[in-house]
Structure 1
Amino acid sequence: MSFFSYDMLKNLKPGEFAVYNFIISHMEKIPSMNIRELAEITGVSTTTVLRFCEKAGCEGYTEFKYRIKCRMSEPEGRNNYDSAPALQFIKNVERDELFQDKLGEVADLIAQSGQVIFSGDGEGRSLAQYGIYLFNSVGKAAFRCEKENGTVCPEKEIKSMLFILSVSGEDEEMVSLLNQYKESGAFVISITNTEQCLIAKMSDINFSCYMPETYGKNTGSVRGSQLPVIYILESLSAIISFRE
């Protein structure tokens, strides 16, 4: 089971998200930290930390630390994958008229654009390639942004669209690329894990997934389900194909 649920993450306030981001990346440190230390290192009040613990289903910080300690003691080889948050996301947005309207709006913008330039960081790199395949399959010119080759945004009259896939939404290279494209007149769409990250705030339209992340205590890696991203990309290509 995921330690943090989709519904919990979606309802976190910015300060509480700062606590979450630190915990998920430094889970092994939490059992030895007191509440004041956690509050100080995340730049929030102890009250904010307590609210976070309550939203995580704990009566206080002591119980929260105990649950973290128990989670860290689980064998690394155990299968911790939980599909429930991703499936819940898809179930929720299928019934969300505002979300479906946003998909339709973005699909229309993509159809009207001259070309779509994809870029992603981490797992987003592979998903960007999948997005290119999907859009090309419905007759839309889509390419990968090759940063290492110095690719820049084409002239404004081409009506280019930049599509960024970034879990953290804070990658320095992605932020720089987004800024460059916006200055060149491109419309920017992004898919990030939260709407509170820099890339989401800089984008013209953002889809946020709020997927719980899993922490590998041996590798130190942090990962989250990418099923919502695939759902969004496939939905957009299906809408474009249907409206052609």
Structure 2
Amino acid sequence: MPVFSYEQLRKMNPGEFRVYNFIASHLDAVPEMNIRQIAESAGVSTTTVLRFCEKAGCSGYSELKYRIRQELDTPSRNGSFDADPAIRYMKLAAKDSQFTDKMAQAAKICADAGQIILSGNRESRPFILYGAYLFSGIGKAAFTAEEGWGSACPKGETKPAVLILSSQGDGEEMVSLTNRYKKAGAPLISVTNTEHCPIARMSDVNFSCYMPEISRISRHGRTELVSQIPLVYLLETLTSEILGFQKQ
């Protein structure tokens, strides 16, 4: 699979990102699929697949398949978890001025807030709790408000800031909850997997990670799994930046 920079991923439109997600999650099958099958599987047009190939630095779909086949034939490849996208995200983020500016803005919002409310869906619960642990450790009042467990709306006099953790960023309940926070006047910071989702667009500051999605079928239905390494990195970086503002 061609390596994309964070900036390249950020500039992909939703259709191109669906192609990226499908191919990244089905590398073994792609060399045996034609372009129409890829388009149908990703829910896009063949033109979108060709645009994706161009952004991957390939002259067409045939070259993309050839490069993927070469990668599959490389002896070092195995079935273990691929941390490369997450590692690449962290390395590039540290050098990206847009990222550092957004991080400084988010840290200032949190430093000035009387309390920080961490909110997200059920899959985000461990990271919501970890974020609250980090913020409490530097003296910030931090509370959690998970999807399905009430909709604690912040009171203006407490000067709250809201941090929303939602990979998909488009769940009906989470979007509704985010809207209530916004109506209450709280500044919103969100971490999503793409900026092309309602929660990202509703936020004052959004960090989009663009990690490959892996589909999983369980008794609860179909879920999309993404690496949460960038989320941990963002929470710890934000905590460090808030601490810097507190020392000023």
Count of residues in correspondence between the two structures: 239
1:135-186 Cα shifts (integer Å, max 9, x gaps): 0101111111044443331322222222111111122221111011111111
Mapped pair 1:89 → 2:89: yes
Letter in 2 for 1:193: N
**Which residue does 2:204 correspond to in 1?**
204
Q: Which residue does 2:182 correspond to in 1?
A: 182
In the aligned structure 2, how far is the partner of 1:87 from the partner of 1:37?
31
Partner of 1:240: 242
State the one-letter code of the partner of 2:138: V
CA distance in 2, matches of 1:193, 1:118: 17
Query: Which blocks of at least 5 consecutive residues in structure 2 are unaligned?
Result: 73-77
Distance 1:184 1:108 in 2: 19
Gaps in structure 1 of 5+ consecutive residues: 73-77
TM-score normalized with structure 2 length: 0.78
Question: What amino acid sits opposite 1:182 in the alignment?
Answer: K
Distance in 2, matches of 1:79 and 1:218, equals: 21
Alignment of 1:101-120 (within 5 A): 101-120=101-120
CA contact (8 A) 1:213 1:222 kept: yes
Deviations 1:39-68 (A, max 9, x none): 467664421111223444655446667888
The structure showing larger relative contact order (alpha-carbon pairs under 8 Å, at least 6 residues apart) is: 1
For residues 67 and 146 of structure 1, the distance between their equivalents in structure 2, rounded to whole angstroms, comes to 43
- Map residues 25-64 of structure 1 onto 2, 5 A cutoff: 35-36=35-36, 39=39, 44-56=44-56, 60-61=60-61
Task: Please give the TM-score of this superposition, normalised by the length of structure 1.
Answer: 0.79
2:164 equivalent to 1:172: no
Q: Does the residue aligned with 1:145 lie in a helix, a strand or coil?
A: strand
SS in 2 for 1:135: helix
Offset at residue 101 of structure 1 (A): 2.2
Residues 105-147 of structure 1, C-alpha deviations (whole Å, 9 max, x = no match): 2111101112111112254221111110010101111111044
Instruction: State the shift of 1:191 in Å.
Output: 0.5
CA deviation map 1:88-119 (0-9, x unaligned): 21111212233212211211110111211111
1:15: how far off? 2.7
What secondary structure, in the 3-state scheme, does the structure 1 residue paired with 2:103 have?
Answer: helix
Alpha-carbon RMSD: 3.6
Cα distance in 2 for residues equivalent to 1:126 and 1:240: 21
Distance 1:71 1:217, change over 3 A: farther
Aligned to 2:75: none
Task: Output the CA distance in 2 between the equivalents of 1:201 and 1:141.
Answer: 26
- Which amino acid in the other structure matches residue 174 of structure 1? M
User: What's the CA shift for 1:69?
Assistant: 9.4
Residues 4 and 56 in structure 2, CA contact (< 8 A), matched pair in contact too: no
Give me the whole-angstrom Cα distance separating, in 1, the residues matched to 2:154 and 2:37: 49
Q: Which residue of 2 aligns with 1:9?
A: 9
